[in-house]
Amino acid sequence: MPTETPLTKNIRTDGEAPDVKAYEQAGGYQAVRKALSGMTPAQVVEEVKDSNLRGRGGAGFPTGLKWSFVPMGNDVPRPKYLVANADEMEPGTFKDRLLLEGDPHQLIEGIIVAGYATGTDVAYIFLRGEYKLAARRVAKAIFEAREAGYLGQNILGSGYSLDLHLHISAGRYMCGEETGMLNALEGKRANPRAKPPFPPASGLFGKPTTINNVETLCNVPHIINRGSAWFKSLSRTKDGGTKLYGASGKVKRPGIWELPMGTTVRELLEEHAGGMRDGFRFRGLLPGGASTDFLTEEHLDVPMDFTEVQKAGSRLGTGTMIVLDDQTCPVGMVWNLEHFFAQESCGWCTPCWSGLAWVERILKALEDGQGRPGDLEKLASQTKFFGPGHTFCALAPGAAEPLQSALKYFREDFERHIADKRCPWR
Amino acid sequence: MLSPDELREIEAEFSRYPNKQAVCIDALQIVQRHRGWISDEALHDIAALLGMSPADLDSVATFYNLIFRRPVGRHVIYVCDSVSCWIMGCERHFRHLSERLGVKPGETTDDGRFTLLPIVCLGACDHAPVLMIDDDLHRDIEPAKIDRILEAYK
């Protein structure tokens, strides 16, 4: 069944990103014209609410609803800010890179429309430091958009003004957490903030702030151009739109595909990723990055949307799956994940900095054949301390997800490490 | 002392943020681009320029994976050790690089040519395993390919 691919239609796999002229010729910046000349900010918010667009950074919060929390009117604190979260550092995730490198004007157009809807004065694209090509292309696109009158004072004569800056970070997972990101932009350590207040009330520099993921923002121009009903019709489920899905690990064709929201795990794995490489058997997968619970064989027919993956005991997360095969040790894989989380913890909350280090050490001992009876109970009890509700941000609760589900689905493998006093895969 | 070029580049960032402290990550990256790393002296000079205490600035500098508070080689090799690359065998490549260069992760070769570092997921997991040398991403890495790639970095 041929499906529309609004997010990736301009993206050429081996070439330059479209410049402002090429982007305009492909219908680009029409949504800015339409919104700024013919719609009120409230109408833009309503259209996006009706579209059932949910945040593509992983949490799936309804985008229109998030925008509606931003105080509007003449007597609200200014400047108001918008931050595009391009700090894509969730292990196994490589979707925003495609959008940033492949069609940066689409993101800028989304930011302008989102900025208009929320009365934003100043916007930042918060880009991870390792994305060098994306940095060059986004910087060039911002320059072109400003020259063409889509950014700056009185955009296209509408009376709406927006400044957009590129902030290039220097590498730390915590910066992707939204309040950590605000601290990072203020030149502080990216520790999370206590909530409330939430960013729409008091965010960057204490001002009302909207934070959206890159893929989320890239959907916005298409919703404005073609309407919320069309956007919903792209999806197979209640959540609107298409989704960038990916697969990595020992599958035949690792990659990334724009498909209807709600495409099943099986279709992604078997049709798009081509199934497992010859000689490898499927054991499980993390559906949406490192901080999601494992799914296994019994979940292959789960539609990959926010609601259904949650019902199956995991989260859609970023929608880029990491596949575990039978010749890779699940305990080793979880050790690798917890090593990442322990290293990237900012050190602010005790269950996180202390618990993750402990968990990592136990997993390493299991891998090295030094596991002891009681270790699995210790691991399980730590996942309870990680939260949610015990820490300021979602890093530790996210770290708990692959661990708690691995203990459930791969229990025998853990036990064999202790009984045999070695890793059976090494 | 900060050089005129460094000063000019840092001051050009001031207009993009409402206060000077917010420029500190940019400032650290600018000075590192010129000098390769951030010495205590550089840290103090940047802190003074931005009206921060050196301790505050150091707490930011040491927070980031890509800010170096120790000297590094002419080229920095970042080997991704996150989950997709781990599944695809990055530990082998780390060992290969370590043996070839005669350094452990975190160390610099005697001739000052390479520093070898682990890095978290580089977001190119469909081409795992990957590594980055300076600003260049290298995908679908294997030992023979690594040897060829290194030749380009003198």
For chain A, domain boundaries: 20-233, 252-325, 330-420
Smallest CA–CA distance, residue B153 to chain A, in Å, is 18
Alpha helices (H) along A73-208: 95-102, 104-118, 132-147, 178-185
State whether residue B126 sits within 8 Å of chain A by CB: yes
CB atoms within 10 A of CB B134: 11
CA distance A267 to B56: 50
CB within 8 Å: A170 and B29: yes
- pLDDT of residue A28 exceeding 90, the answer is yes
CA distance A103 to B132: 23
Q: Which of A336, A340, A425 is the best mutation test for B, with the most CBs of B within 10 A?
A: A336
Segment A285-301, tens digit of pLDDT: 999 999 999 999 999 99
Residues 147-176 of chain A whose Cβ lies under 8 A from any Cβ of chain B: 165, 167-173
Residue whose pair of structure tokens reads 């940066």 in the numeric block: A104
State whether residue A423 sits within 8 Å of chain B by CB: no
By C-alpha distance, the chain A residue nearest B28 is A170
Tokens (6 digits) for A168: 């290039």
Q: What is the mean pLDDT of residues A11-38?
A: 94
CB within 8 Å: B82 and A131: no
CB within 8 Å: B125 and A93: yes
By C-alpha distance, the chain A residue nearest B18 is A205
User: C-alpha A235: how far from its chain's center?
Assistant: 19
- pLDDT of residue A14 exceeding 80, the answer is no
Tokens (6 digits) for A348: 């602010």
| Interacting residues of A34 by C-beta distance below 8 A, sequence separation 6+ | A224, A225
Residues 56-85 of chain B whose Cβ lies under 8 A from any Cβ of chain A: 59-60, 63-67, 78, 81-84
| A128: region left, alpha or beta (phi > 0 left; psi from -120 to 50 alpha) | beta
Q: What is the pLDDT of residue B57?
A: 98
Which CATH code, of 3.30.2130.10, 3.40.50.300, 3.40.720.10, 3.40.30.10, is assigned to B75-150?
Answer: 3.40.30.10
Q: What is the pLDDT of residue B96?
A: 92
- For B60, the closest of A129, A189, A336 (CB atoms) is A189
Q: What is the pLDDT of residue B143?
A: 86
By C-alpha distance, the chain A residue nearest B21 is A187
**CA angle centred on A212, ends A322 and A260, rounded to 5°:** 50
ipTM over the 0.95 cut-off: yes
CA distance A268 to A251: 11
Burial class of A357 by CB neighbour count within 10 A (0 to 12, 13 to 18, 19+): middle
Q: Is the fold of A20-233 the same as that of A252-325?
A: no
| Residues linked to residue A258 through DSSP beta bridges, in sequence order | A244
Tokens (6 digits) for B36: 């390769």
State whether residue B120 sits within 8 Å of chain A by CB: yes
Residue whose pair of structure tokens reads 């203990």 in the numeric block: A407
| Interacting residues of A248 by C-beta distance below 8 A, sequence separation 6+ | A92, A94, A254, A320, A321, A322, A323, B84, B87, B88, B125, B126, B128
Q: With contact defined as beta carbons under 8 Å apart, do A262 and A241 qualify?
A: no
- Structure pTM? 0.97
CA distance B119 to A128: 13
Q: Which CATH class is domain A252-325?
A: alpha beta
Q: pLDDT-derived band of residue A388, with 50, 70 and 90 as boundaries?
A: confident
Tokens (6 digits) for A163: 């400044």
CA-based Rg of chain A, rounded to a whole angstrom? 22
Residue whose pair of structure tokens reads 């918060």 in the numeric block: A126
CB within 8 Å: B86 and A333: yes
Whole-number average pLDDT of chain B: 96
CB within 8 Å: B88 and A250: yes
Which CATH code, of 3.40.640.10, 3.40.50.11540, 3.40.50.970, 2.102.10.10, is assigned to A20-233?
Answer: 3.40.50.11540
Segment B44-83, tens digit of pLDDT: 999 999 999 999 999 999 999 999 999 999 999 999 999 9
Segment A345-369, tens digit of pLDDT: 999 999 999 999 999 999 999 999 9
Q: With contact defined as beta carbons under 8 Å apart, do A325 and A250 qualify?
A: yes
- pLDDT of residue A2 exceeding 60, the answer is no
The rounded percent of chain A whose pLDDT value lies above 70 is 100
By C-alpha distance, the chain A residue nearest B60 is A189
State whether residue A189 sits within 8 Å of chain B by CB: yes
Q: pLDDT-derived band of residue A13, with 50, 70 and 90 as boundaries?
A: confident
CB within 8 Å: B123 and A129: no
Ranges of each domain in chain B: 4-61, 75-150
Judged by DSSP in three states, A273 sits in coil
Q: What is the mean pLDDT of residues A35-58?
A: 97
CB within 8 Å: A92 and B16: no
What would the CATH number be for the domain defined by B4-61? Answer: 1.10.10
Position with higher pLDDT, B147 vs A328: A328
Chain A neighbors of B54, CB-CB under 8 A = none
CB within 8 Å: B87 and A249: yes
Find out if CATH 2.60.120.10 is the number for domain A330-420.
no
Q: What is the pLDDT of residue A1?
A: 47
CA distance A142 to A164: 7
Q: What is the mean pLDDT of residues A227-244?
A: 96
Segment A95-115, tens digit of pLDDT: 999 999 999 999 999 999 999
Chain A neighbors of B87, CB-CB under 8 A = 248-250, 322-325, 328, 333
CB within 8 Å: A133 and B137: yes
State whether residue B9 sits within 8 Å of chain A by CB: no
CA distance A199 to A189: 17
- pLDDT of residue B150 exceeding 50, the answer is yes
Q: With contact defined as beta carbons under 8 Å apart, do A53 and A223 qualify?
A: yes
